[in-house]
Amino acid sequence: MLFHLDYVREKIINRLHKCASVEIRLTRNQLWAAEILLRKCVPDRDRRDALLLVKSLKRQLTRDNRGTP
């Protein structure tokens, strides 16, 4: 089944927002996969904010795993 790019993009960004608002938890691998997919399906000029969100979530995940506040 093929997905429309707008649908895929929206679904990825919604999951990232839910993770940022602590509604769900994403693993490091899920964040990495989201970053890769965003690089492929979001135009360069539009993906900056989404990729910054992914990097921020990765840093938070790293801090949580270390037990650092």
The pLDDT value given to residue 64: 74
Residue 22 lies in a domain: yes
Tens digits of residue pLDDT in 12-58: 888 888 888 888 888 889 888 888 887 777 666 666 777 777 788 88
Report whether pLDDT(1) > 70. no
Do residues 68 and 31 lie in contact, with contact meaning Cβ atoms separated by under 8 Å? no
Taking every pair of C-alpha atoms in the chain, what is the biggest distance, in angstroms?
43
Sign of the Cα torsion 62, 64, 66, 69 reads positive
User: What does the alpha-carbon distance between residue 8 and residue 25 come to, in Å, rounded to a whole number?
Assistant: 19
* Any domain includes 69: no
The domain tally of the chain equals: 1
Give pLDDT, residue 20. 82
Q: Write out the residue range of the structural domain in which residue 29 sits.
A: 5-64
Q: Are 34 and 55 a contacting pair, CB within 8 Å?
A: no
Q: Kindly report whether the global pTM for this prediction surpasses the value 0.85.
A: no
